[in-house]
Amino acid sequence: MARSTGKHPLQRFTNTTVMWVILGAAFVFYMTPIVWLLLAAFRTESELFSASAFHIGSVDSLLATWNNLATYNDFLIGEWAFNSAVYSVGGVSLSLVAAVPAGYVLAIYDFPFRRLILVLTLIAMITPNTVVALPIYLQMQALGLTNSYLGMILATAFFPFGVYLAFIYYVTSLPRALVESARIDGATRFEVFLKIALPLSGPLIALVGFFSFLANWSNYFLAFVLLTRDELYSLPIGLAVLISSSGALGNDVASDIPINRPEAIVAALLVILPVLLIFLVSQRYVRAGLLSGAEKG
């Protein structure tokens, strides 16, 4: 009689229980600040200190907070949101145009210095943004592109992580035999990429686009270096301005500036929500892209 290889029911129950306990603890740990932030948007300044941590405020308080935020410098936060959208969409578009073909070429073709380029890509990927901020600033200053939409878009389009993702995707998901067959049939290298590789790159495009958008939307330091005009700020920079010009850090506030902690909290939600919504919409493609390199085949 063959020996059963299944786990004992008690062991399966223990493993399942431990797994759910770990997942539950992680969920509570990471979701508690987000839940607090959502609930805090419905409170007044005094309720943030006097009420319990998870006290539910009122919709009227939220509307009053939003009105104060909207009237701050003639709805300047709307301009910041528009700027963030322009910088992010432009940066993502250029990142995709550069990263996807570059990763494809590195994965499919052998050419001189290919390995060196891969190593340099990995080095650039792990280099902190603060290290490259000064060279990028000097380049944009030499080109006269500081304090401009084009300068920010060009600066944020540099995305070596996207090149690496594209390289891994094509190595694991695009058989070289398919490319070679197309070349034998007379297709040019550009036609192979355009008609064979690119139509199969939906998960990759979603994955690179999501991570590029996340990096660009939340980019603070590079925007801080390149932008000095208030009307060109992105939302992260604008949020820092709101906090520094309000009572959120205990600063003295002029009576005609209706910006306090609730307004700063609502502004923080404006920074978070677009990323959350985009992830919810594209999570199926993002998940497919993440799993594409899990198994060679």
What is the domain partition of the chain in residue ranges? 9-69, 73-291
Q: What is the pLDDT of residue 290?
A: 57
Cα–Cα distance for residue pair 149/84, rounded to 1 Å: 10
The burial of 214, by beta-carbon neighbours within 10 Å (0-12 exposed, 13-18 middle, 19 or more buried), is given as middle
Domain 73-291 has CATH 1.10.1200.10: no
Q: Please list the pLDDT of the chain residue by residue as tens digits (297 residues).
A: 445 455 667 788 788 888 999 999 998 898 888 888 888 888 888 888 887 878 888 888 888 888 888 887 777 888 899 999 999 999 999 999 999 999 999 998 888 899 999 999 999 888 887 888 888 889 899 999 989 999 999 988 888 999 999 999 898 888 888 888 888 888 888 888 888 888 888 888 888 988 899 889 988 888 888 998 888 999 888 888 877 765 544 444 443 555 778 888 888 888 888 888 887 777 776 666 555 554 444
The backbone region for 144, taken as left when phi is positive above 0, alpha when psi lies in -120 to 50, beta otherwise, is: left
CA 27 to chain centre: 21
Residue closest to 238 by CA, chosen among 219, 258, 252, 257: 219
Instruction: Read off the pTM.
Output: 0.80
Quote the tokens at residue 91.
Answer: 């940066």
Quote the pLDDT of residue 252. 44
The alpha helices in the chain, defined as continuous H runs, are: 9-40, 45-50, 59-71, 76-108, 114-126, 129-143, 149-156, 160-173, 176-184, 189-192, 202-217, 221-226, 235-244, 261-291
